[in-house]
Amino acid sequence: MNVRFLLLISAIILISRVGLAQTNQAVIKEDFKPSTLNQPGQAYPQVNSQGYARFKIIAPAADSVRVSLGLGGRGGTILHKADDGAWTGTTEGPMDEGFHYYNVRIDGGKFNDPGTMNYYGSIRWESGIEIPAHDQDFYALKNVPHGHVQQVLFPSTSTNTSRRAFVYTPPGYEKNRSKKYPVLYLQHGWGEDETAWTNQGHANLIMDNMIAAGKIKPFIIVMTYGMTNDVKPGRIKDFKIDSFQNVMINELIPYVDDNFRTIAKQSHRAMAGLSMGGMETKTITLNKPGVFAYYGLLSGGTYAPTDIQDKSTVKLIFLSCGSKERPDGVRNAVTALKEAGLNAVGYISENTAHEFQTWRRSLYNLAPLLFN
C-alpha cells in the first residue's frame, strides 16, 4: 500500500469538493433555470448557461445562511436576505459541468437545501445540483430500451446480515432467457455508497444509450457498498481491505453468479472503482489475481508494471482522472504499463476535477474496452 498515494487521494477529495471552475466571467447571464435535480415543483436552486448556480433558501428569522458550493477559501457562497425573507446568492464563478454535492449552513448548523434531492456523499445525504454539460447527451434519459436496476439483498455470513447491492441488467435480459453476460463490479468512492453510480453517475443510462447506439455489447454491472464509511479522509491509509474483499470475493460474486445469468469466469469479469473505490479495486485485483481480467481505476491511483504478477490474465488496465487532478500521473503510468507489454489505456476528462462528471465520462470510455 502506497501511503503517499493515499494521502494525496485524501487531499484531492477534500479540495475537489469545492468544485469551482477556474475561469471567472465578468457578466452573469440571466438565463437561470431550475436544476434538473430539484424536487417536484421547486424553482431553486437554479443554474445558468455559463454554469453559475443560484440558491434561494427560506429562513426569515435566520442570522446567516451559506451554501458550501463556491470558492472554498471564502467558505462557499454567502447568501443575503431579501425583503421577502428569502436568502439568495449566486456562486462567484461558473461551476464545472456535471454533478455537485453541497449543503447549507444555517445559523451554524449543517442542513440540506429543501429545493433539491439528496445524494449520499461525505457520509451524509447531501444536496445535489446538476450543471448542464456540453456532452450530457451520453447520460441523458432517452427513448431507447432501458435496462433494469435491481436491488438485491445478498446473504453475508461474514458480516452477519443481508447486504444490499444494485445490479444493472441490460435491455433484453428478461427476454433472452438463455443468454449469459459478462459482469463489471463497479465501486463508489469514500463517503458514498451503492446508490452513487446510478443516482449521481447515471451508469444505467450511460449503458442504455451505448447499447442502443451499438457502441458496446451488453453486460451486467454490480454495485455494492465498499464499507468505506468509517474512514476519515486523512486516514484512508488505515483502511483494511479484508472485510470488504471477503464480502466481494466470497459472498457477492457467488451470489451474482448464482442468481444472474453471468459468464462466471475471470475472462468475463471486470472490477473498477472511483477514488477510494479505485484503491479498493487495485488492492483486490492484486490480492486475487485469478478473479478479474479487466481493471479500472477512475481518479483512484495507478498500477505499476511490477504490481502485476501474471500479465497473461490481465486483458485491460484502464486509468483515468480529470484534467484538474493529476493527469500526468495517469499518462506516465499508462506509458510504463504499455512498455511492460500490458494493454493499458488512459483517459483524461477535460476541465473536470475529482467529481462525478469525470467518472461518468470514464465509464463511457471504459465500457467499449471491456469484454472484447
From 152-160, 215-223, 265-273, 304-312, span contacting a copy of itself (CB under 8 A): 152-160
Min dist CB 347 to a copy of itself, Å, is: 27
Q: Which lies closer to a copy of itself via its Cβ, residue 109 or residue 290?
A: 109
CB 322 within 8 A of CB 133: no
From 154-162, 298-306, 335-343, 350-358, span contacting a copy of itself (CB under 8 A): 154-162
Min dist CB 194 to a copy of itself, Å, is: 13
C-alpha cell at 270: 471486470
Min dist CB 9 to a copy of itself, Å, is: 21
Q: Which lies closer to a copy of itself via its Cβ, residue 144 or residue 336?
A: 144
d(CA 251, CA 254): 6
Min dist CB 348 to a copy of itself, Å, is: 31
The three-state secondary structure class of 60 is coil
Query: Residue 371, exposed/middle/buried by CB under 10 A (0-12, 13-18, 19+)?
Result: buried
Measure CA of the first residue to CA of the last residue in the chain; give whole Å: 31
User: What is the chain's Cα-based Rg?
Assistant: 21
Min dist CB 34 to a copy of itself, Å, is: 15
Min dist CB 225 to a copy of itself, Å, is: 10
Q: Restricting to residues 186-245, name those near a copy of itself by CB under 8 A.
A: 198, 204, 208, 229
**Is residue 5 a contact point for a copy of itself (CB under 8 A)?**
no
**Is residue 151 a contact point for a copy of itself (CB under 8 A)?**
yes
Q: Which lies closer to a copy of itself via its Cβ, residue 152 or residue 241?
A: 152
Given 259, 267, 287, 323, the residue binding a copy of itself (CB under 8 A): 259
Q: Restricting to residues 34-53, name those near a copy of itself by CB under 8 A.
A: 39-41
The phi, psi pair for 224, rounded to 5°, reads -135, 175
d(CA 28, CA 48): 8
CB 62 within 8 A of CB 71: no
Min dist CB 332 to a copy of itself, Å, is: 37
The phi, psi pair for 75, rounded to 5°, reads 80, 30
Pairing of strands 294-298, 316-322: parallel
C-alpha cell at 1: 500500500
The three-state secondary structure class of 56 is strand
Min dist CB 2 to a copy of itself, Å, is: 28
**Is residue 58 a contact point for a copy of itself (CB under 8 A)?**
yes
d(CA 12, CA 232): 13
Per-residue mark of binding to a copy of itself, 92-131 (x: CB under 8 A): --------------xxxxxxx-x--xx----xxx------
Q: Which lies closer to a copy of itself via its Cβ, residue 204 or residue 349?
A: 204
d(CA 226, CA 95): 29
**Is residue 343 a contact point for a copy of itself (CB under 8 A)?**
no
Q: Which lies closer to a copy of itself via its Cβ, residue 29 or residue 148?
A: 148
The three-state secondary structure class of 258 is helix
Min dist CB 109 to a copy of itself, Å, is: 3
Query: Of the candidates 227, 147, 156, 139, which has an alpha carbon nearest to the alpha carbon of residue 188?
Result: 227
Given 26, 73, 143, 306, the residue binding a copy of itself (CB under 8 A): 143
Given 27, 73, 84, 175, the residue binding a copy of itself (CB under 8 A): 175
Per-residue HEC secondary structure of 19-38 comes to: CECCCCCCCCCCCCEECCCE
Tell me, by CB under 8 A, how many residues bind a copy of itself: 50
d(CA 16, CA 29): 25
Show the CA angle centred on residue 220, arms to residues 131 and 252, nearest 5°: 105
Min dist CB 308 to a copy of itself, Å, is: 35
User: 45: cis peptide before it, omega within 30°?
Assistant: yes
Q: In the complex, which residues of this chain contact a copy of itself (CB under 8 A)?
A: 39-41, 57-64, 85, 106-112, 114, 117-118, 123-125, 141-143, 146, 148-155, 161-162, 167, 174-175, 177, 198, 204, 208, 229, 259-261
